[in-house]
Amino acid sequence: MMRLRAVEERIAARYPEQEMRCPTHLCVGQEAAPVGVCAALRPDDYALSHHRSHGHYLAKGGDLDRMIAEMYGRETGCSRGKGGSMHLVDLSVGFLGAVPIVASTVPIAVGAAFGARMRGEDRVAVVFLGDAAVEEGVVHESLAFASLERLPVLFVCENNLYSVQTGLEARQPSGRAIHELGAAHALSHAQLHGEDVFAIHAWAEEAVAQARAGEGPSFLEVLTYRYLEHVGPYEDVELGYRTREEVDAWRARDPIAHATRALADEVGPETIDGWMRAHAEALDAAFERAIAAPYPEPEALFEGVFRGTSTRLGEGT
């Protein structure tokens, strides 16, 4: 989690330089879900994400250099510089993709789990989604199909209360917790607070074991909070859709501070300080390498993409 926080804060610091020419959605404050869940996965398991994807990618084993290079649009990026922050893909670590269209990766995760089972593999698929994703019909279709087929897939909903600047109370029925949607589709389900990475990891280990054993999918709602604006590197309290008091209350339950307190007696403050120094040094090198890397050649624009069919018979490609 310290690594994710250090990476995101460095991106926020460098973003105003206008060299990362892509929108960026930071996950500062939300680190416990990706770390707790992905630590329970094998390297060959699948993970998919949404627009706030940096933490998921790194927690799944993604390469820091390739991610930073991707944000700078360089050829050495994990999507060869074509995707930017919101389109991270790295098949070498089972990260099938991040897509900004809300809920669009949920059925892909179900398909990945279905495919693994058809091939006789014991791989598990995890998809991270936001609270707004459950307002899309495809999520419910995916939950129903996964439950019916008892597929090895984990649905992890990071409920940070807001869809851009619209609060949960304006979008969903009052008195109904999101994780209860899992119950409606006969999935194992739970709700945990996003400050407690240890509880999230314990849930994930159990859910992964259940999925790998053929006992079906699970749904987790993580109550969490983004400290920064919906898209961009700044705070946004001045916009008026949330208060300073609310932001401060969530910062007081910070997941890094919670984990640090829990580990202080075990590893000591010197070790924790050493981790932070090591992360900072690795970040310096990653940014230097990204900036020094070449941009993709123009002819690479049409590589790795689907090409449409011509409306004139015989000219399709």
Q: Which of 184, 180, 123, 141 is nearest to 157 (CA)?
A: 180
The CA-based dihedral angle spanning residues 48, 53, 56, 61, taken in that order and rounded to the nearest 10 degrees = 90
Q: Which of 105, 143, 109 is nearest to 126 (CA)?
A: 109
pLDDT, tens digit, 9 for 90 and up, residues 113-130: 999 999 999 999 999 999
Instruction: Kindly give the parts of the chain with pLDDT less than 50.
Output: 313-314, 316-317
In which residue are the tokens 């403050």 written?
269
pLDDT, tens digit, 9 for 90 and up, residues 230-247: 999 999 999 999 999 999
**Looking at residue 26, what is its pLDDT?**
98
Residue 206 and residue 178: Cα distance in Å, rounded? 20
Contacts (Cβ under 8 Å, ≥6 apart) of 121 = none
Q: Which of 60, 204, 222, 233 is nearest to 130 (CA)?
A: 222
The DSSP bridge pattern shows strands 218-223 and 188-193 to be parallel
**Looking at residue 316, what is its pLDDT?**
44
Question: Three-state SS for 267?
Answer: helix
In which residue are the tokens 């929108």 written?
23
Q: Concatenate the DSSP letters of all residues of 46-108 into one string.
A: EEEE-SS-HHHHHHTT--HHHHHHHHTT-TTSTTTTSS-TT---BGGGTEEEE-SSTTTTHHH
Global confidence as pTM = 0.94
DSSP annotation of 277 reads H
**Looking at residue 317, what is its pLDDT?**
42
Q: How many CA atoms lie within 13 A of 154 on its CB side?
A: 35
